[in-house]
Amino acid sequence: MKARGARGARAGHAGRSSRAPTPRALSHVDAKGRARMVDVGDKDLTERRAVAEGRIRMSREAFALVKANRVTKGDVLRVAELAGIGGAKRTAELIPLAHPLPLDHVAVEATLDPKLRGVRVRAEVRLAGRTGVEMEALTACAVALLAVYDMVKAVDRGMAIGEIRLLEKSGGRSGTWKRVEKLKS
């Protein structure tokens, strides 16, 4: 099932009708096909928000140790949350064409999920600015999940990180977009 935007539009096209989308140019590519950083200098300052999620599956043994907070390296969930916050703040150092942003708020929540037999991470990022914070929310999730892997790898090197995805974004010219379908365990 494809994700739908705020008014029934296809994912990534919130606010448009359900007719065939109009092709759009890639914003990070110039007329000659070279990568470029988007000039956001003329954009209005607006409240921007993005929420992303991701997950990591692990063995029964690893899950039990994380649940009991008995992993040798420490509290896996709290370290993952701190790592995610740090990742959001450093997105522009990791993603070459991302703008360095003065983030107003970053919240990362790592929770155990017995049905998944793993950890789910949810990140919310906000700022008042000229460009969105989707990359910061996605990076927060990715880094938090990598921290889980790092802390638990001595017990389970077969852990699988996946389903890192944007759930919603608001602000800017493109307005609000929300993912409709839910992640299955």
- By residue range, what is the domain housing residue 148? 46-173
Give the pair of three-digit tokens for residue 62: 């690893």
Task: Evaluate whether residue 183 is within a structural domain.
Answer: no
Could you report the per-residue pLDDT of 142-166, keeping only the tens digit for each? 999 999 999 999 999 999 999 999 9
Task: Evaluate whether residue 59 is within a structural domain.
Answer: yes
Could you report the per-residue pLDDT of 118-150, keeping only the tens digit for each? 999 999 999 999 998 999 999 999 999 999 999
Task: Evaluate whether residue 169 is within a structural domain.
Answer: yes
d(CA 83, CA 144): 5
Task: Evaluate whether residue 22 is within a structural domain.
Answer: no
User: Phi-psi region for residue 157, left (φ > 0), alpha (ψ -120 to 50) or beta?
Assistant: alpha
- Among 106, 52, 108, 107, smallest CA distance to 77 is for 108
DSSP 77: H
Give the pair of three-digit tokens for residue 92: 């522009």
Q: Does residue 182 register a pLDDT over 90? A: no
Task: Evaluate whether residue 12 is within a structural domain.
Answer: no
Total domains present in the chain: 1
pTM for this predicted structure: 0.81
Task: Evaluate whether residue 61 is within a structural domain.
Answer: yes
Q: Is 42 a catalytic residue?
A: no
For tokens 């974004």, name the residue. Answer: 169
CATH number where 141 lies: 3.30.70.640
Q: Name the active-site residue from 75, 104, 113, 150.
A: 150
